[in-house]
Homo-oligomer: A and B are copies of this chain.
Amino acid sequence: MSDPRALSGYWLRDNCPCAECRDPGNDQKLFQITDLPAGLAVRESTEQDGHLAVLWSDGHRSRYPLARLAAATGPGLGDPDVPADPDTADTALRHPGDHRTEAAKRLWRAADFAAGVPEAHWDAYLADPAERAAVLRAVRHLGFAVLRGVPATDRQVLAVVRTFGHVRVTNYGELFDVRVEPDPNNLAFTSAAVAPHTDNPYRDPVPTLQLLHCLENAAEGGDSGLVDGFAAADLLRTEAPADFALLTRTPVPFVFRDRTTELHAERPLIETDALGRIREIRFNNRSIGTLRLPAADLDAFYAAYRRFAGITLRPELRLTFRLDPGDCLVFDNTRLLHARTAFDRDGRRHLQGCYADLDSLASALAVLDRHTEALDTLQELFEGAGAAEYLGEAVTQAEHMRQAALLAQRDGAPAHLVAAALLHDVGHFHGAVTGAQLMAGTDNRHSRTGADLLARWFGPEVTEPIRLHVDAKRYLCAVEPEYRAGLSEASEHTLRVQGGPMDTGEAAAFAALPAAADAVALRRWDDRAKSTDADTPGFDHFRPLLADLLAAGAAGAAGTAGTGGAAPELCGTAERRR
């Protein structure tokens, strides 16, 4: 593996993680594949410091973390993610796998939920990122989850969607009402049973998620049913491989028309990926249109279709449960078939539903996981390297940062400044130049390194004061003579390495920056946070504050649907930076 000649050259170059090849802000590549010359080859390669350094025949230089290379080229094809490395938490050499296929799912039968279905209370879901991640993970792995205690009010289902994604509007509107009112004069509303099916197969792309929020359910009967369509297809594959294969390769027309709509889609009942893995189920007899095939092929198709339909009706596959007011069922419409038992006409039952998509849900889950990972990484830093390094002061780096945060908190600073104070020196532990080297006379630009690291997780309200906190020292030395006089010996030492006091022009430019005031405030806590007798709380004390900041940032982004966002691909990569 460490011999780069055993690697594919264009693949290796396409995955170069350098800042020239890849935008550090969003990991998007900054070159076209056609920009690489024909006959590209490795001219030299060396291993050092856990990295593979490559000099290419066109003069470009690349540097790859060996662990990531090993993971990306090793035998574990299809394995879960390589664990994140905070030094290189980008997409280069990471392969998340296709989370839409059966390989990423846990197939189930009804008995698997004898102890209960995957569920969470709405309040806990909102308050606790771990609870939220568990719900989203259940939808991704099992195909569904139930939220309990969601306020049983009109349009509340849209608020549920906003916690992880965006509504997919269809001809049924932004949301739809599943409401059956007893009215024997009107055939338009029935209380009949509905067999397991997926929704909107006549849409292409089909909505990949569905939500059903129960507002009222006073009827006898009317229970909800779910069938794992992947499990049913898996059974078909085992019991009748030829039928399975036929259903994966026969495009089936699905049709819906009413006065204002005429939808046609043509997709197989069971869709597999290029590797033959089950990836999507469409199953809805009501909207299957007319297949045009030779009669013998039709006979074969209908035999396979009826066999598959029979499997979906097996009682052991069907999970039945009741939605009560306040329950919101979230499920994968490309995998689970949903159904309803019959109920008495005199009972009132009212659900509100809407559609959404799995990609946004998976994104929300990944961001939640990233937050957990971030907090764990920071905690480890405070309790590991940070607790060991002194950097010229009488307190450890970790204690220094915790003291700064406590001072900010005691001064009534807002959460983002407490976080900035807590994290202001994390740059000493990352990047090519260490804090010790700074002390030896090489500026490690730790304010910038730290801000860049933290920008993966936190917004500019946290990162920009950190980015400027060294400049704030140089600024204060320029405008407040008594400030410089009060600097510690180590701080006076690093001031010189960092460029000395600002001149008048520099100071004016600094003061005009939006984050200047916050950076100066941070600087003053920084300077005071060197007490050896302070009784400073541990990282655990600050973790919830950081968690809230992370959650608020992600929620803010999910809630921006109504405003113009940054421009996607058309506008050029550099414009993607935020």
B194 touches A100 (CB 8 A): no
Shortest Cβ distance from residue A378 to the other chain B in the assembled complex, whole angstroms: 15
- In angstroms, Cα B288 to Cα A92, docked, is 10
Pick from B15, B78, B90, B257: contact of A91, CB under 8 Å: B257
Assuming A306-B34, A564-B175, is B96 touching A253 (CB within 8 A)? yes
Q: What's the tally of chain A residues with a CB closer than 8 Å to chain B?
A: 153
Most central of A34, A90, A179, A310 by chain B CB within 10 Å: A34
Distance, CA A561 to CA B91, complexed state (A): 37
* CA of A449 to CA of B264, assembled, Å: 27
Contacts of A8 in B (CB 8 A): 295-296, 298-299, 302
Q: A291 contacts B578, CB within 8 Å?
A: no
**Chain B CB within 10 Å — which of A167, A171, A192 has the most?**
A171
User: Would you call A99 and B285 a contact (CB within 8 A)?
Assistant: no
Stretch at the interface among A119-127, A516-524, A568-576: A568-576
- CB within 8 Å of B: which A90-130 residues: 90-100
Complex formed: what's the CA distance from A569 to B196 in Å?
10
Would you give the 0/1 interface string for A161-195, flagging 1 where the beta carbon is closer than 8 Å to chain B?
00000111111111111111000000111111011
Knowing A266-B98, A557-B259, A560-B173, the reply to whether A10 touches B306 (Cβ < 8 A) is yes
Q: Which residue of B lies closest to A6 (CB)?
A: B295
| Distance (whole angstroms) from the CB of A191 to the closest CB of chain B | 8
> Which B residue sits closest to A201, measured CB to CB?
B569
Closest Cβ of chain B to A20, distance in Å, is 13
Contact with B along A524-546 (1 / 0, CB 8 A): 00000000000000000000000
Q: Among B195, B295, B560, B564, which residue has its beta carbon within 8 angstroms of that of A32?
A: B195
In the complex the two chains form, what is the Cα distance from A31 to B570 in whole Å? Answer: 48
Check if A197 is an interface residue, CB within 8 A of chain B.
yes
What chain B residues lie within 8 Å of A251 (beta carbons)? 98, 273-275
- The answer to whether A95 touches B290, judged by C-beta atoms less than 8 angstroms apart, is yes
> Within 8 Å of chain B (Cβ to Cβ): is A263?
yes
Q: Are the CB atoms of B188 and A253 closer together than 8 Å? A: no
Hey, which chain B residues are within 8 Å of A295, CB to CB?
6-8, 11, 73
Asked whether, in the complex, the Cβ of B94 is within 8 Å of the Cβ of A290, the reply is: yes
Tell me which residues from 265 to 300 in chain A have a Cβ below 8 Å from any Cβ of chain B. 265-266, 268, 273-275, 284-293, 295-296, 298-299
Once A169-B167, A173-B562, A569-B194 are accepted as A-B contacts, the answer to whether A255 and B27 lie under 8 Å apart by CB is yes
Flag if B171 contacts A565 (CB, 8 Å): yes
Docked CA distance A558–B259 (Å) = 11
Bound Cα distance A566, B309 (Å): 27
- CB-CB under 8 A from A577, the residues of chain B are 187-188
Contacts of A458 in B (CB 8 A): 259
**With contact pairs A173-B562, A176-B568, A564-B173 given, residues A288 and B6 touching in the complex (Cβ less than 8 Å):** no
Q: What B residues does A372 contact at CB under 8 A?
A: none
Query: A245 → chain B, closest Cβ, in Å?
Result: 11
CB distance from A566 to the nearest CB of B (A): 6
Cα A366 to Cα B292 with chains together (Å): 20
> Does A88 belong to the interface (CB within 8 Å)?
no
Q: With a CB–CB cut-off of 8 A, which chain B residues contact A9?
A: 299
Excluding A78-B292, A205-B205, A261-B557, 4 further A-B contacts by CB distance (< 8 Å) are A10-B299, A173-B560, A191-B572, A205-B359
A to B CB contacts below 8 Å, 25 in the list: A11-B291, A15-B290, A28-B256, A33-B306, A91-B290, A92-B290, A94-B290, A98-B266, A166-B170, A174-B562, A175-B565, A176-B564, A179-B567, A194-B571, A199-B570, A202-B359, A204-B358, A259-B557, A259-B578, A260-B554, A260-B558, A263-B362, A265-B359, A352-B564, A353-B570
